[in-house]
Amino acid sequence: MKGLFSSYPVPIDFPKFASYHSHPSMLHRFFTGPWAIEPRLHDRLAPLVLSGRVDLDGAKLARARRSPRFESARSGSAAVAAIMAAANTVSGPASKASLIPIISIIGTMTRYGDMCSYGTEDIATWILEADADERVLGVVLEIDSGGGEVSGTELLAEVVRQCAKPVVAYVTGMAASAAYWVAAATDWIVMESPTASEVGSIGVLAMHVDLSKKLEKEGMKVTIIRAEGSENKALFNSVEPLNEKLIKEVRAEMNPIRDAFEASVRADRPGISDQVFETKGGMFNAIAALENGMADEIGYLGNAVAKVQQLAA
């Protein structure tokens, strides 16, 4: 781990977790909650979760054991001093404020840091710590993420938006869906590669997996008994087939989230082209992103750091 300000994924012992079966709470969270995530990533993660090779709660426990937590957000506190001593930072010009923490958003975004990476709450806390510390000039968010849970994404984007110090996004691979929701809230977006770096996937999805036939094949029959007055409780589950009425209801629940996503991006990127939203969740490489007002520059980490210095001047 490169430091507390650098949220690189914590290594997880997958052979150990492979012996665990995916349990209902984890499946419910992954497959029934609304996600702002690039579908390509979701499709790759789904088989791992179903096979039990990725245990969200196990990864969360391992992360809690291996990761130090912030004890205080007070500027100048012993906790902040320890954080800054270990942080992955770049020194700016010689002045009282000269440190530029590089905070990574890499991998699947979740609120509490499942899927082997730190959570959006952790990242929001680090940004608040940086904003309160007089030694910090500004922040670079290094992003390579296909998105993730809606829960926590709006919070992180708002923390970024309200940061008094400049925040610059540096997109290495992709900033898709929830990751772009956050990137759009920064003051400037730098994309590393003209063709290999991507942004977009502005949309929301929920995945339903009907396990009833698989359970039946294994000799198991699940019966859900609902109390009177609870006939509509937990209809979106993995052991009962969906009907068209329920699909319409779930879609109606997700539509306001998608609308909020678009409104947030439009507010943060006033020059963005309507064409971006007409693609209904399309991805754009750096060249197209600049043309459509989704990003500001093609460059490397040094460009992002230099932009923080320029904005802080």
- Active site residue ranges: 177, 233
What is the C-alpha end-to-end distance of the chain, expressed in Å?
A: 31
Rounded Cα–Cα distance for residues 161 and 166 (Å) = 9
Rounded Cα–Cα distance for residues 107 and 267 (Å) = 26
Q: Are strands 99-106 and 89-91 parallel, antiparallel or unpaired?
A: antiparallel
Q: Which residues are 141's β-sheet partners?
A: 103, 169
CB atoms within 10 A of CB 216: 12
3-state secondary structure of 101: strand
3-state secondary structure of 181: helix
> Could you tell me if 168 and 304 are in contact, meaning their C-beta atoms sit under 8 angstroms apart?
yes
Amino acid at 55: D
Return all residues near 263 (Cβ < 8 A) that are at least 6 apart: none
* Token pair of 260 as six digits: 């909020």
Q: Which residue's entry shows tokens 């990242």? A: 123
Containing 167, the helix (H) or strand (E) segment is strand 167-176
Burial class (CB in 10 A: 0-12, 13-18, 19+), 287: middle
Q: Closest by alpha carbon to 312, among 162, 127, 187? A: 187
The DSSP 8-state label assigned to residue 136 in this structure reads B
* Token pair of 47 as six digits: 């088989």
Q: Which residues are 143's β-sheet partners?
A: 105, 171
